[in-house]
């Protein structure tokens, strides 16, 4: 099977989430990604979350399709090995604090001397310059500073942070895209470049026109809970059998179908019903009608009725629901791969389908340093040289 990025060689020096998630995305579509970890300080994500038989499960997802080696970049031996790797690579992804690679003699000036076509993708919380650039940066801080948390939560309640790495995930997809764009430019010009991605920025880009609203009108989007300031009804509603369903009426025609379905066709004749903002101003009335109708029926009946009416509804799923759902099964959204440590591991499949160069999960995350000898051997290092590096603590 030919992947879209077959032949692309990536060195991943990043830890935790945004950089490694970007590396996994590139690896899913064929790139040969070599994950570099400190010999005595593995990527902390190996210990995040639940484990089975002492094996971290998050790492199995984050480290998928990557070969794993160890290398102490702060040592002269480690620096020399990385420069040899860089000479044959297309991309390096790193997320050290700005100045760290330069302190080790591995800044872009040195790396590009080894390989003028190399792309150095740098992922940090706040970017490579500016007053906050030296601060430690995590996705949680980006969720707070981007405006996301301020607009999330119930009216009158506190700002709300997501229970997973949302900003990191958005930054990872942006990193993979930026790296692909840089590869395309390199293929045309022969020259590499530096990609500077600050985790605080991509999540802000997804928040829509909030900056434009404020600078043009002084309008700051308030917290509205599950409701929208742009349309209604838009909320979650509990059924007679205790399930929760989400309803969306972003289109006027859908809103009309919903209120007719729940027995309130009179709403359609109201002047305020003709616009999304007008409906949002009357969300209490609309929610009351939809909620009462849904509460009298089991989830299966509600979903069937909405489908018959061509109105938009979806159940609020937990993971067992996702695994059992026939649409996700048809798409192959959950994929299982054999694993020497755990037997078989299920995880989310690649992000999208390509008819000519599809992505593929070939294997789950590898043990710490499992491929060190293989990768260094490909550089031409002998068994004796590799043993010497190991004795000196460089690998």
Torsion of CA 365, 91, 29, 127, to 10 degrees: 80
Considering only CA atoms, which of 301, 112, 271 is closest in space to residue 293? Answer: 301
Q: Which of 28, 168, 287, 371 is catalytic?
A: 168
33 touches 67 (CB < 8 A): yes
- Could you give the count of Cα atoms lying within 13 Å of 168 in the half-sphere of its Cβ? 21
What are the beta bridge partners of residue 9? 32
35 touches 67 (CB < 8 A): yes
d(CA 387, CA 395): 9
> Taking the mean position of all CA atoms in its chain, how far away is CA 328?
19
Name the region of 358 (left: φ>0; alpha: ψ -120 to 50; beta: rest).
Answer: beta
Q: Is 168 a catalytic residue?
A: yes
- What are the catalytic residues? 168
């Amino acid at each position: 099977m030919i992947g879209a990025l077959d032949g692309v060689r990536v060195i991943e020096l990043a830890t935790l989430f945004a950089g490694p998630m970007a590396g996994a995305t590139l690896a899913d579509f064929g790139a040969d990604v070599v994950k570099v970890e400190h010999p005595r300080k593995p990527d902390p994500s190996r210990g995040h979350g639940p484990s089975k038989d002492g094996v971290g499960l998050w790492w199995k997802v984050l480290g998928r399709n990557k070969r794993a080696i160890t290398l102490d970049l702060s040592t002269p031996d480690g620096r020399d090995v990385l420069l040899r790797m860089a000479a044959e690579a297309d991309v390096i992804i790193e997320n050290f604090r700005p100045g760290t690679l330069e302190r080790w003699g591995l800044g872009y000036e040195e790396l590009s001397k080894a390989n003028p076509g190399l792309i150095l993708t740098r992922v940090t919380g706040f970017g490579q310059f500016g007053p906050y650039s030296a601060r430690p940066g995590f996705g949680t801080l980006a969720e707070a500073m981007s405006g996301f948390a301020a607009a999330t939560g119930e009216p009158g309640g506190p700002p709300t942070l997501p229970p997973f790495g949302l900003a990191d995930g958005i930054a990872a997809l942006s990193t993979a895209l930026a790296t692909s764009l840089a590869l395309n430019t390199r293929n045309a010009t022969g020259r590499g470049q530096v990609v500077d991605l600050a985790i605080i920025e991509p999540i802000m880009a997804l928040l829509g026109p909030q900056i434009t609203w404020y600078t043009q009108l002084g309008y700051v989007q308030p917290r509205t809970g599950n409701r929208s300031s742009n349309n209604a009804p838009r909320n979650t509603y509990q059924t007679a059998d205790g399930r929760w369903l989400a309803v969306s009426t972003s289109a006027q025609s859908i809103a009309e179908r919903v209120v007719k379905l729940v027995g309130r066709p009179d709403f359609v004749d109201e002047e305020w019903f003709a616009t999304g903002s007008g409906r949002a101003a009357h969300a209490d009335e609309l929610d009351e009608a939809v909620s009462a109708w849904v509460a009298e029926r089991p989830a299966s009946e509600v979903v069937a009725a909405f489908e018959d009416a061509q109105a938009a509804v979806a159940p609020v799923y937990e993971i067992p629901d996702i695994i059992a759902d026939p649409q996700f099964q048809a798409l192959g959204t959950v994929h299982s791969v054999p694993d020497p440590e755990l037997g078989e591991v299920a995880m989310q499949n690649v992000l999208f389908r390509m008819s000519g160069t599809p992505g593929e999960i070939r294997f789950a995350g590898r043990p710490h340093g499992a491929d060190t000898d293989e990768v260094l051997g490909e550089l031409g290092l002998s068994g004796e040289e590799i043993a010497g590096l190991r004795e000196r603590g460089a690998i």
